[in-house]
Amino acid sequence: MKSIKLLGLVCMAILCNTEIQSQNKMRTISKQMLKDKIAGGWAGKMIGVTYGAPVEFRAQYKTFDDSIKWTPNDIKGSMWQDDIYVQLTFMMTMDKYGIDAPAKKFQEMFAKAGYMLWHANVQARKNYYDGIFPPASGSPEFNAHADDIDFQIEADYLGFMCPGMPNTASKMADKIGHIMNYGDGVYGGIFLSALYTQAYFEKDISVIIKSALTSIPAKSDYAKIVADVITLHKNYPNDWKAAWAQLQDKWGYDHLCGAGETFNIDAKFNGAFIVMGLLYGASDPMNTMEVTTRCGQDADCNPSNAMAVLGVIKGFSNLPPDMQKGVTAVGDSVFINTTYSFNSAVESTYNYALKLILKNGGKITGDKISWPLQVIKPAKFENAFPEVVFDKKVSIFSKENWKFKGNWSAFKEKSWDGKTEREQAMVSNTKGDELEFSFEGTGISLVGNWVKDGGRADIYLDGKLHRHIDTYFDYSQQEHRNITIWHALQLTPGKHSIKLVVTGNSNKASSHSNIYITEAIIYKTAPKKSSQYKLAFEK
Question: Alpha-carbon Rg of the chain, whole angstroms?
Answer: 24
Predicted confidence (pLDDT) at residue 217 exceeds the cutoff of 50:
yes
Residues 118-155 have pLDDT tens digits of 999 999 999 999 999 999 999 999 999 999 999 999 99
- Cβ atoms of 56 and 299 within 8 Å: the answer is yes
- Mean per-residue pLDDT, 206-211: 98
Percentage of the chain lying above the pLDDT 90 cut: 89
Return the domain boundaries, the chain.
Answer: 2-84+147-165+181-372, 388-529
- Cβ atoms of 382 and 394 within 8 Å: the answer is no
CB crowding 77-105: b at 16 or more within 10 Å, else e:
bbbebbbbbbbbbbbbbbeeeeeebebeb
Which amino acid appears at position 297 of this protein? Q
Closest to 193 measured CA to CA, from 221, 219, 174: 174
- Cβ atoms of 240 and 259 within 8 Å: the answer is no
Local confidence band at 20 (pLDDT 50, 70, 90 cut-offs): very low
Query: What's the distance, Cα to Cα, between the start and end of the chain in Å?
Result: 57
What pLDDT, on a 0 to 100 scale, did the predictor assign at position 24? 52
Closest to 447 measured CA to CA, from 522, 524, 518: 518
Residues 434-479 have pLDDT tens digits of 999 999 999 999 999 999 999 999 999 999 999 999 999 999 889 9
- Cβ atoms of 20 and 31 within 8 Å: the answer is no
Residues 304-330 have pLDDT tens digits of 999 999 999 999 999 999 999 999 999
User: How far is residue 156's CA from residue 161's CA, in Å, rounded to a whole number?
Assistant: 9
Residue 243 neighbours by CB under 8 Å, 6+ apart: 229, 232, 233, 235, 236, 276, 280
Backbone angles phi, psi at 204, to 5 degrees: -75, 115
In this chain, the answer to whether the domains covering 2-84+147-165+181-372 and 388-529 adopt an identical fold is: no
Reported for 61-68, long-range contacts at CB under 8 A and 24+ positions apart, including other chains, are: 61/248, 61/252, 61/262, 61/296, 62/296, 63/241, 63/244, 63/294, 63/295, 63/296, 64/293, 64/294, 64/295, 64/296, 64/299, 65/294, 68/290, 68/293, 68/294
User: How far is residue 189's CA from residue 184's CA, in Å, rounded to a whole number?
Assistant: 9
- Mean per-residue pLDDT, 77-91: 98
Q: Decide if domain 388-529 falls under CATH 3.60.40.10.
A: no
Instruction: Tell me the CB-side half-sphere exposure of residue 489, using CA atoms within 13 A.
Output: 24
- Cβ atoms of 446 and 498 within 8 Å: the answer is yes
Q: What is the fold, at CATH topology level, of the domain defined by 2-84+147-165+181-372?
A: ADP-ribosylglycohydrolase fold (1.10.4080)
Backbone angles phi, psi at 191, to 5 degrees: -65, -45
The DSSP bridge pattern shows strands 402-405 and 480-488 to be unpaired
Helix (H, G, I), strand (E, B) or coil at 371: strand
Residues 394-414 have pLDDT tens digits of 999 997 899 999 999 999 988
